[in-house]
Amino acid sequence: MSVDPGNRKLLRLEVRNAETPIERKPPWIKTTLRTGPEYKELKALVRREGLHTVCEEAGCPNIYECWEDREATFLIGGEQCTRRCDFCQIDTGKPAELDRDEPRRVAESVQAMGLRYSTVTGVARDDLPDGGAWLYAETVRQIKALNPNTGVELLAPDFNAIPEQLLEVFESRPEVFAHNVETVPRIFKRIRPAFRYQRSLDVITAARDFGLVTKSNLILGMGETPEEVREALVDLHGAGCDIVTITQYLRPSLRHHPVERWVRPEEFVEHAAYAEGIGFNGVLAGPLVRSSYRAGRLYAEAARIRAASAS
């Protein structure tokens, strides 16, 4: 029997994935260490106060730039997800009991770090009657109550597109509602078996119809073709998505989906130009871009364009 480091029996898919060695990264997959005064101050504060951010715990390559801009990302809902995506490093299993004090602690962390813009993401909580909608909404409400000048971006699961659950989340009014489709229709079921491509588009449309700025992400290198990427961009824009990020898949471990290809920087430039050409208000694409990278700047640009087009 094969087990992972957490002593969970590996799925057959994970055993098959593990037959492919970890891929050697190309020379353009690298980042430069740049530590300015804002980053150093935040790092010291996080250590001193015992705060937790996705930025540090996931080893994000963009932490230096984001912290210099006073932006950070927080993970809510626990350490285990009720769904399994073949690219995601978060463990799948039965989550711990809902921590109803978590929204307050996240809000206080945002305040302690003096953030200008905060991104909140989390695990799917299909074990809860409301799918975790209260937790996501309450975290936004608490951040806004304690930090009225801080922007909040919410990167949420699909809540199975249940209208009542979506409405609770939408009514918390984050500056940006993000829901990531991550990949293209042809390989979607294999990569994200507990999600549905059209359902994800429907969630984005519902957020747009509510009046929120919307955002999504595509991860390249999992078996898609450049043409399929462009088709997915058309689908996202048609669903009402304002902002899109396009990223390179980096395999977290042997049990995760192998990297099918390393997308050259020039292809990212082409996809970004295409996305801008079909009307997205904010676009970032690159090998080391992540969905929360430069989130505050992207929101400001998208909001400006949206306001100008509405006037």
> Is there a domain that residue 96 lies in?
yes
Is 5 a domain residue? no
| Domain-embedded: residue 52 | yes
Residues spanned by the domain of 92: 32-310
> Is residue 246 included in any domain, yes or no?
yes
Count of domains forming the chain: 1
Helix locations, the chain, DSSP H? 12-17, 37-49, 54-57, 63-68, 102-113, 133-146, 163-170, 185-191, 197-210, 226-239, 265-278, 295-310
Q: 147 with 115: CB under 8 angstroms?
A: yes
Residue 19, in any domain of the structure: no
Structure tokens at 232: 């997915």
161 within domain boundaries: yes
List residues forming the annotated binding site for [4Fe-4S] cluster.
55, 60, 66, 81, 85, 88, 292
Q: Which residues are annotated as a binding site?
A: 55, 60, 66, 81, 85, 88, 292
Report the pLDDT value the prediction gives residue 4, as an integer from 0 to 100.
57
Domain assignment present for 16: no
CATH of the domain at 304: 3.20.20.70
The answer, as to whether pTM is greater than 0.75, is yes
User: What are the average pLDDT values for consecutive 10-residue runs of the chain, which has 311 residues?
Assistant: 56 84 88 78 81 74 84 88 88 90 94 93 95 98 98 98 98 98 97 96 99 98 98 99 97 90 98 98 95 92 86 75
208 within some domain: yes
Instruction: Measure the CA–CA gap between 251 and 8, rounded to whole angstroms.
Output: 19
The residue with tokens 């949420």 is 156
Which two three-digit tokens encode residue 158? 């699909």
Q: Considering only CA atoms, which of 219, 258, 210 is closest in space to residue 19?
A: 258
